[in-house]
Structure 1
Amino acid sequence: MRLVVARCQVDYAGRLTAHLPMATRVLMIKADGSVLVHSDGGSYKPLNWMSPPCALREGSTEDGRVEWTVTGKTDDTLRILIEEVLHDSSHDLGVDPGLQKDGVEKHLQELLAEHPATLADGLTLVRREFPTAIGPVDLMCRDAEGLSVAVEIKRRGEIDGVEQLTRYLELLNRDPLLTGRGAVRGIFAAQAIKPQARVLAEDRGITCAVVDYDALRGMDDDAEHRLF
């Protein structure tokens, strides 16, 4: 990545036109070819930018001032007229491992396995990763009446997750060991459930449960600090 702090003027021409008058700004040129123009405010959003694929050409104007011309895959053009360079450095950041989000499905599964009653009163855990012919169900539980309950856990509840739980339930309800007292029902648990997914789940008799991850972690912390 190349970082340049400079007094510059920026003009964009393309689907629309935009002009940034002369001022001190940060010019960021990333390894993927993108060029971004930042000020000292506005949070993370650049004032102007050119997304890859694009090409940067460094030249000069007739009066000898440095001018960058950035051309995009269409006819878009970003012209940066530089009056003074205050800083210019390049840094090899290496391969980024990507964002690791807190509250991934595995941790949600662990927390809900310890506290299944947060999904429904009287719910108790039978087994995590209950096997089926098409993959494991996240949690197999029993309700207060002794009926089997399959729980599918997602960070974001979408239609695909409902479809997945539906396929599990179709297989589980063929097992007489699970259906001796009645049909296996399903709970679709997530930190957030999209309206379309909720409608589909309820239409198929599946209960939706929105999980408060922070509250679950608080319960987990309490358990860790108990003496007995």
Structure 2
Amino acid sequence: MRLVIARCSVDYAGRLTAHLPLATRLLLIKADGSVSIHADDRAYKPLNWMSPPCWLVEEAPHLWRVQNKAGEQLVITLEEILHDTSHELGFDPGLVKDGVEAHLQELLADQVELLGTGFTLVRREFPTPVGPVDLLCRDANNKVVAVEIKRRGDIDGVEQLTRYLDLLGRDPLLAPITGVFAAQQIKPQARTLAEDRGIRCVVLDYEAMRGVDDPSVRLF
């Protein structure tokens, strides 16, 4: 990665035109060919950028032209370069998320009793014509229950489970079928919609499920 801090102006020509007047900015040139222009605010979002595949040509000491396959161009005019360094970052393993839905699904499959007394697991990732439902279970009365798991439960998740229930309910071997919407957090609108459709909501305590926290010893 090449880091350049410079007083520069930037002109973009493509589907539209845009101009950044002269100011001090950070220019990032990555190994994948991408070029982005940053100010000292706006968090991670660049002021302008060119995604790969694109090519940077230094046409003059103070004129850079970045172009992609579509013919779009970023023309960077450098008034003064204050800093210019390059660094080899090497391979990046990527972000490892804790508490993703796949892990929640695995934990809940092993602790299916959290859904209710007498619950048993039939299968994880039970197929439907519109995608797999996370868990298919049976309750204490041996009735089939479809379980959709989210980290944060919103209306889209309820709609997703509703589609699964509609399709699975057409199978006489599974009907009548009920649903459980399980998440670490469930938005009030999602809970209202779920309950209106006869779907039970269950809030999951991820820390307790993975054995890190014991709710019985909490003060609050």
TM-score by length of 1: 0.66
> How many residues are aligned here?
200
How far does the alpha carbon of each residue in 1:129-171 deviate from its partner, in whole angstroms, 9 at most, with x for none? 637996896252425xx24242333337386666556666666
Q: What letter is aligned with 2:17?
A: T
Within the candidate set 109, 113, 137, 1:140 is matched to 137
Go from structure 1 to structure 2 and tell me whether the alpha carbon gap of 1:131 and 1:77 turns closer, same or farther (over 3 Å shift). Answer: closer
Quote the residue 2:20 is aligned against: 20
Equivalent pair of 2:29/2:35 in contact (CA under 8 Å) = yes
What SS does the aligned partner of 2:93 have? coil
2:112 paired with 1:113: yes
Quote the residue 2:11 is aligned against: 11
Equivalent pair of 1:187/1:207 in contact (CA under 8 Å) = yes
Quote the residue 1:151 is aligned against: 146
Within the candidate set 191, 214, 217, 1:222 is matched to 214
Q: What letter is aligned with 2:179?
A: G
How far does the alpha carbon of each residue in 1:99-151 deviate from its partner, in whole angstroms, 9 at most, with x for none? 333432243232573532xxxxxx225334637996896252425xx242423
What SS does the aligned partner of 1:115 have? helix
How far does the alpha carbon of each residue in 1:57-87 deviate from its partner, in whole angstroms, 9 at most, with x for none? 0121xxxx51100112223211111122222
The answer for unaligned runs of 5 or more in structure 2 is none
After TM superposition, list the pairs within 5 Å mapping 1:1-228 onto structure 2.
1-60=1-60, 65-109=61-105, 110=107, 113=112, 115-116=114-115, 123-128=116-121, 130=123, 138=135, 140-142=137-139, 146-155=141-150, 157=157, 174=173, 183-190=176-183, 207=199, 209=201, 212=203, 216-217=205-206, 220=209, 221-223=213-215, 225=217
Q: Over the residues paired in the alignment, what is the CA RMSD in angstroms? A: 3.9
Q: What is the CA–CA distance in structure 1 between the aligned matches of 2:144 and 2:34, rounded to whole Å?
A: 50
Q: What letter is aligned with 2:139?
A: R
TM-score by length of 2: 0.68
Equivalent pair of 2:8/2:77 in contact (CA under 8 Å) = yes
Equivalent pair of 1:67/1:82 in contact (CA under 8 Å) = yes
Equivalent pair of 2:38/2:45 in contact (CA under 8 Å) = yes
The answer for unaligned runs of 5 or more in structure 1 is 117-122
What SS does the aligned partner of 2:112 have? helix
What SS does the aligned partner of 2:145 have? strand
| % same residue | 45
Q: What letter is aligned with 1:222?
A: D
What SS does the aligned partner of 1:124 have? coil
Bigger Rg, which one:
1
